Structure 1
Amino acid sequence: METKKPGNKDLILREKLALQRTILANQSTFLSFLRTSMYFLIAGLSLRNLLKVENSLLIEIALFVTSFVIFVLGILNFFKHRKSIANNKKHIGDYQLEYYEM
């Protein structure tokens, strides 16, 4: 004879809210990567106009490459964590099923 534990409605709500906070944190982190990438891009674009440096072209290229790398890392990080969040969302669904089957 199988006995089921009574479901806890607060547990489901807490799990869903924690998941929403995690999703928002992931989006915020992506926006931080994007902002940092744009700072490097703007620095590369404005370097020649602001400073008279001998090797400014090399520095500009380095800043553009850094900007692109940060942007790509941000995208990869976002999708990696989004997949992880989606996998954890399945666990919340199991709790919900246990609660509603009672």
Structure 2
Amino acid sequence: MNKDLILRERLAIQRTIMANQSTFLSFLRTSMYFAVAGVSLDQLLKLPGGHIIEYIFLVISAVLLVVGGANYFIQKRKIDKSEKHIGDYQLDYEKGGE
């Protein structure tokens, strides 16, 4: 059993996990920007119908948060399934490559 192959696969999974987390944080950041923009626009500009703009921005913010969370958990489930695939190699590695 090639121990370098096992290490490479483990590192690839770790990179994928970190990329998934980074993507979720990007969705979260964008969602927060829309929420802040919605609240700020209504307070700063005092436009007629400004509440409608505020609600639109808050709805967009909520949608982005839900989509980002759903994407995170879908990808996490796929990563977990792929991690089980290399589990057999890990057993061989722990036994010493017998």
Would you say same fold, with TM above 0.5?
Answer: yes
Aligned residues: 96
- Distance (whole Å) between structure 2 residues aligned to residue 29 and residue 55 of structure 1: 34
Look up the SS of the partner of 2:48 in the other structure. coil
AA in 1 matched with 2:77 = K
Which ranges of 4 or more aligned residues in structure 1 deviate by more than 6 Å? none
Please, what TM-score do these two structures have when normalized by structure 2? Answer: 0.92
2:72 alignment partner in structure 1: 78
Output the aligned Cα RMSD. 1.2
- Distance (whole Å) between structure 1 residues aligned to residue 90 and residue 58 of structure 2: 48
Deviation at 1:81, TM superposition (A): 0.4
2:13 to 2, 16, 19: 19
Q: Which structure's CA Rg is the greater one?
A: 1
Larger helix percent? 2
Note the 1:1-102 alignment, pairs <5 A.
7-99=1-93, 100=95, 102=98
Please, what TM-score do these two structures have when normalized by structure 1? Answer: 0.88
- Distance (whole Å) between structure 2 residues aligned to residue 90 and residue 17 of structure 1: 14
Residue identity over aligned pairs, in percent, reads 58
Where does the alignment leave 5 or more consecutive residues of structure 2 unmatched? none
Deviation at 1:35, TM superposition (A): 0.1
Deviation at 1:98, TM superposition (A): 3.9
